[in-house]
Amino acid sequence: MSESHVPPVITVESASVGYGEALVFRDLSLTIPKGQVTALCGPNGCGKSTALKAMRGLLPTRAGQILLDQTPIGGWGAKALARQIAILGQSPSAPQEMRVRDLVALGRYSHRAAFRTLSQEDSAAIETALEATDMAALSERPLGALSGGQLQRAWLAMVVAQEAPVIFLDEPTNHLDIAHALNVLDLVRHLSQTGGKTVVIVLHDLNMAARVADRVVLFRDGRIAADGAVADVLTEARISAVFDIACQVLTRPGSALPLIVPLGPLPQARRG
């Protein structure tokens, strides 16, 4: 589970990124190792989603640089970058009347020449994505007729159809019940283990992060508080310090993974 021998696919070098006047983080350095699932965790507003967007080139860096395969992220063309990194944001939207299959087909944009119709490869990728997300039976439905969980899976299918070696997911289990959330996490593991994908996933729930990730990065106030293998990072001391909560870390039955039990907020929160 150690990342020391894995070549990095994305390198963040002393990057500062923000919206408008305010910087969300400054001087951030981070590497994303190839083929692993990296979970970004931390309190609200700690910069984890911003880091994800910056690594996808959706936000400009004010200082420092972000490299994808040794090339600055800004130097990649829109389509070339999309063929390398697919990202599912927190609140994607598309017209209600669009069919699931048509949404998933939009994921093929970066692979298609301007005037070509869907190729055999495109169709195959769409079918594979629909199967992988368990959406094949619902592929003719309009998005407006889907439940929250189905809708999230439809968007995941679009991202999978993009066939990028790197996949970013920003809180993909939001609004999902526990069964659908676990399904999504299983899909992520599947993509990583059998598909060889590099996955960066922003998650609120530390137990979900422990379940899906090879490596956890804990953010706090725009800085990295901890970065390493799941068992090394998700310790009582670290979690208490980052989230200002008292907690107990047990061992999950039937595995060596940590199981975090939050006990309550620390009496004197240091936040503010």
Partner 1 sequence: MTLTAKAAAPVGVLLIALFAVAIGSSFMPLDRVIAALLGAGSRADGVILWNIRLPRVLLAALSGAALAVAGLLLQRATRNPLAAPSVLGIVDGAAVGVLVFFLIFSNEANALVVSVHWQPLAAIGGALVFATTVGVLAWQDAVSPLRLLLYGVAMAAFANAIVTLMLIAGPAFRACLALIWLAGSVHTADWREVGLLSLAWCLALPVLAVLIRPLDQLRLDDQSAQSTGLNVARTRAAALLVSVLMTAAAVSVVGGIGFVGLIAPHAARLLYGSGAGPQMAGAACLGAGMVMASDLLVRAAFQPLEVPAGAVTALIGAPYFLTLLIREGHAHV
Q: Which residues contact partner 1 by CB under 8 A?
A: 53, 56, 58, 78-79, 81-83, 85-89, 91-95, 97-98, 106-107, 109-110, 112, 114-115, 155, 158-159, 162
The smaller minimum CB distance to partner 1, of residues 43 and 92, is found at 92
CB of 92 to partner 1, least distance (A): 4
**Which of 217, 209, 88 has the alpha carbon at shortest distance from 157?**
88
CB of 23 to partner 1, least distance (A): 20
Neighbours of 159 (CB within 10 A): 23
The smaller minimum CB distance to partner 1, of residues 184 and 210, is found at 184
CB of 155 to partner 1, least distance (A): 8
CB of 128 to partner 1, least distance (A): 17
Cβ atoms of 271 and 250 closer than 8 Å? no
The smaller minimum CB distance to partner 1, of residues 125 and 247, is found at 125
The smaller minimum CB distance to partner 1, of residues 115 and 272, is found at 115
The smaller minimum CB distance to partner 1, of residues 98 and 182, is found at 98
CB of 242 to partner 1, least distance (A): 27
The smaller minimum CB distance to partner 1, of residues 143 and 230, is found at 143
CB of 110 to partner 1, least distance (A): 3
Cβ atoms of 143 and 106 closer than 8 Å? no
Q: How far is CA 176 from CA 4, 93, 99, 149, 224, in A?
A: 34, 17, 21, 6, 28
